[in-house]
Amino acid sequence: MKPGAVISEPGSTVRNRTGGWRVFRPVFDMKECIDCGNCWIFCPESCVSRSEEGEYSADLDYCKGCGICANECPTEAIKMELEEK
Amino acid sequence: MREMLHGSKAVAKAVKLCDVDVVAAYPITPQTPIVEYIAQMVADGELRAEYIMVESEHTAMSACIGASATGARTFTATSSQGLAYMHEVLFIASGMRLPIVMVNANRALSAPINIWNDQSDSIAERDSGWVQIYVETNQEALDSVIQAYRIAEDKEVLLPVMVCMDGFVLTHTMEPVDVPSQEEVSGFIPPFEPELKLDPEQPVTMGALGEPQWYMEFRKQQDEAMERALEKVKEVDLEFARTFGRGYGLIEEYKTEDAEVVLLTMGSLAGTIKDVVDRYEGVGLVRLRLYRPLPVEEIARAIGNAAVVGVLEKDIALGLGEGALCTEVKKVCYDRGLETRVLSFVCGLGGRDVRMEDVEHAIEVCRRAAKGEKVSPTTWLGLREAVP
């Protein structure tokens, strides 16, 4: 614990897996996807990625389930589904 | 070199001698001349510092926080409403452990609006994690600013320091002041080199979230730093005395030995009280110089043999019916098992003169209490008896 709560190691935030905060998870339907990239641009957690084949997915270790990707998707290809454990 | 100086100019000279890098300030009476003198020094090229003109005290302190985080030596000054406006950022400065030094020219808080001296502004910030030093003279104001940087920047401390001086009584009054040379001061204060600072070469995060599983530990660290600050204030003052021939201690005791009645106060009022005490037998004075951290041990030792302690202070803890310092002196007595009776004397609010007669009245009340007579726990000195 550094005085003043200074974090002296860059990039340590990745250790904080915020996926546990999620109530709804984004589910991507690639049949509806037009590859506009809005979900990738707007994700505040930067956890949406695009594969080489043009498929989108969210990294569920960090996705907090905010739903911004689903809201921004022009073709409603992303649905927010309740997490059930 | 001895010079005739207003308290505000003495402070400005100290800031220059400390080779401050960044000054961010907003003018407010009675602090104004301090920042005017500094602005002039920067404009004239006498002080090579960045002078940031800001639109509020909240921003003044925020700018000091940012500058200090990069490793710059920073200074600001304020009074009253300005200090109140800084309130939330004061906690950030101390929580981030940034060694900012600020002079507070003590002034009453509104309403009713009042620009004159009392100490309710800085006493209201007693829990903000700042070291607080109250000075009696212009010389002590200059010396305390120099000491403040040594205390604040010490690696064992790393806390912001507030030097409190009575508005007008000191800021606008001239006294002969011994101004040390640049060489002497530079030799006393090493350059500020924090281990961690905002530096693109070595990135760090400051001011991040502290979740419930860590927050308490950081507060505990701060409280421990305060404990170490007490020793450091003592050490730095001793070294200052060896270097410059003047020292002040954590408290100043005046004729307290064998005194049945001890008066206790902070700031310039001590001067008047010393004159009154000289006319009595068995009456002494303790001038508390360090208010945060509170020097419990030193106070207990100084008042331990007295029957009655009268705390004369320029603040009122509304709803408690006594001054805040009085409550703390009671804490000292309780913790140390002292049977000393502690009485509150509220005085000098909003610039009301504290006359020698007022101090005499306080002594008479304390003496009656010492004889076992029933007296009120709180007395307001110099209050109008019949208000139309």
For B337-356, letters b (16+ CB in 10 Å) and e give: ebebbbbbbbbbbbbbebee
Torsion of CA B16, B141, B37, B26, to 10 degrees: 100
- Residue A67 confidence (pLDDT): 97
Nearby residues of B26 by Cβ (< 8 Å), 6 or more positions away: B35, B54, B55, B56, B57, B59, B60, B78, B82
Q: Give, as one character, the DSSP assignment of residue A18.
A: G
Same domain membership, residue B232 and residue B205: yes
Q: Report whether pLDDT(B49) > 90.
A: yes
Give whole-number Cα distances, A26 to A42, A43, A69, A84, B261, in Å: 14, 11, 8, 13, 75
Interface probe with B: pick from A2, A6, A16, most Cβ of B within 10 Å? A6
pLDDT tens string A15-57:
889 999 999 999 999 999 999 999 999 999 999 999 999 999 9
For A31-49, letters b (16+ CB in 10 Å) and e give: eebeeeebbbeebebebbe
Which strand ranges, in their side-by-side order, compose the sheet holding B161-166? B50-53, B22-25, B74-78, B101-106, B161-166, B131-134, B290-292
| B271 inside domain | yes
- Residue A85 confidence (pLDDT): 67
CB pairs under 8 A between A and B: 39
Contact in structure between B314 and B169 (CB atoms under 8 Å): no
Mean pLDDT of B33-40: 98
Contact in structure between B325 and B315 (CB atoms under 8 Å): yes
Q: Report whether pLDDT(B328) > 70.
A: yes
Q: Are the Cβ atoms of B97 and A3 closer than 8 angstroms? A: yes
**Is the bond preceding B259 in cis, omega lying within 30 degrees of 0?**
no
Same domain membership, residue B113 and residue B26: yes
Mean pLDDT of B93-99: 98
Same domain membership, residue B127 and residue B43: yes
Task: Look over chain B and give the mean of its residue pLDDT values, rounded to a whole number.
Answer: 97
Cα Rg of chain A, angstroms: 15
B292 SS3 class: strand
Share of residues in chain B with pLDDT > 90 (%): 98
| B388 inside domain | no
- Residue B80 confidence (pLDDT): 98
Q: Measured between CA atoms, how close is B101 to chain A, in angstroms?
A: 17
Same domain membership, residue B198 and residue B128: yes
Report pTM. 0.93
| CA-based torsion, B167, B171, B174, B176: positive or negative | positive
Query: Domain coordinates of chain A in residue numbers?
Result: 31-85
Q: Are the Cβ atoms of A1 and B221 closer than 8 angstroms? A: yes
Taking contacts as CB-CB distances below 8 angstroms, the residues of chain B near A10 are: 203-205
| B385 inside domain | no
pLDDT tens string B138-171:
999 999 999 999 999 999 999 999 999 999 999 9
Contact in structure between B159 and B97 (CB atoms under 8 Å): yes
Same domain membership, residue B149 and residue B278: no
CATH number for the domain spanning B234: value is: 3.40.50.970
Residue of chain A with shortest Cα separation from B94: A4
Q: Are the Cβ atoms of A7 and B203 closer than 8 angstroms? A: no
Question: Cα B157 from chain centroid?
Answer: 17
| B111 inside domain | yes
| Angle (CA) B50 B53 B55, round 5° | 150
Dihedrals phi, psi of B187, to nearest 5 degrees:
-70, -25
For domain A31-85, say whether CATH 3.30.70.20 is its number.
yes
Q: Measured between CA atoms, how close is A6 to chain B, in angstroms?
A: 5
Smallest Cα–Cα separation from B137: which of B107, B100, B163?
B163
Q: Which amino acid is at B102?
A: M
**Is the bond preceding B112 in cis, omega lying within 30 degrees of 0?**
yes
Same domain membership, residue B291 and residue B168: no
Same domain membership, residue B39 and residue B141: yes
| B386 inside domain | no
| B210 inside domain | yes
Q: Residues of chain A whose C-beta is under 8 A from some C-beta in B? A: 1-8, 10
Same domain membership, residue B212 and residue B280: no
Taking contacts as CB-CB distances below 8 angstroms, the residues of chain B near A7 are: 204-206, 208
From B244, B265, B299, the end of a domain falls on B244
| CA-based torsion, B366, B370, B374, B376: positive or negative | positive
Smallest Cα–Cα separation from B301: which of B289, B281, B286, B313?
B286
Same domain membership, residue B306 and residue B180: no
Q: Report whether pLDDT(B234) > 80.
A: yes
- Residue B385 confidence (pLDDT): 82
Contact in structure between B133 and B293 (CB atoms under 8 Å): no
Q: How high is the ipTM of this complex? A: 0.84
Q: Are the Cβ atoms of B97 and A1 closer than 8 angstroms? A: no
Task: Select the residue of B97, B214, B217 nearest A4 (Cβ to Cβ).
Answer: B97
Give whole-number Cα distances, B224 to B213, B233, B271, in Å: 19, 14, 33
From B216, B244, B272, the end of a domain falls on B244
Same domain membership, residue B255 and residue B192: no
Q: Are the Cβ atoms of B218 and A8 closer than 8 angstroms? A: no
pLDDT tens string B109-134:
999 999 999 999 999 999 999 999 99
Taking contacts as CB-CB distances below 8 angstroms, the residues of chain A near B95 are: 4-5
Same domain membership, residue B77 and residue B46: yes
Q: Are the Cβ atoms of A6 and B98 closer than 8 angstroms? A: no
Paired tokens of B52: 């940031």
> Strands B251-254 and B283-288, how do they pair?
antiparallel
Paired tokens of B338: 């002292």
d(CA B237, CA A50): 64
* Count of helix runs (H) and strand runs (E) in chain B: 12, 15
Residue of chain B with shortest Cα separation from A6: B206
Taking contacts as CB-CB distances below 8 angstroms, the residues of chain A near B221 are: 1, 3
| B12 inside domain | yes
CATH number for the domain spanning B325: value is: 3.40.50.920
Domain count within chain B: 2
Dihedrals phi, psi of A28, to nearest 5 degrees:
-95, 130
Paired tokens of A8: 């002296």
Q: Report whether pLDDT(B387) > 80.
A: no
Contact in structure between B323 and B380 (CB atoms under 8 Å): no
Q: Are the Cβ atoms of A5 and B208 closer than 8 angstroms? A: yes
Same domain membership, residue B325 and residue B264: yes
Instruction: Give the CA count within 13 Å in the CB-facing half-sphere of B386.
Output: 1
Contact in structure between B296 and B336 (CB atoms under 8 Å): yes
Task: Select the residue of B204, B217, B218 nearest A7 (Cβ to Cβ).
Answer: B204
**Residues paired with residue B76 on neighbouring β-strands, in sequence order:** B102
* Segments forming the whole domain that contains residue B35: 2-244
Q: Measured between CA atoms, how close is B97 to chain A, in angstroms?
A: 5
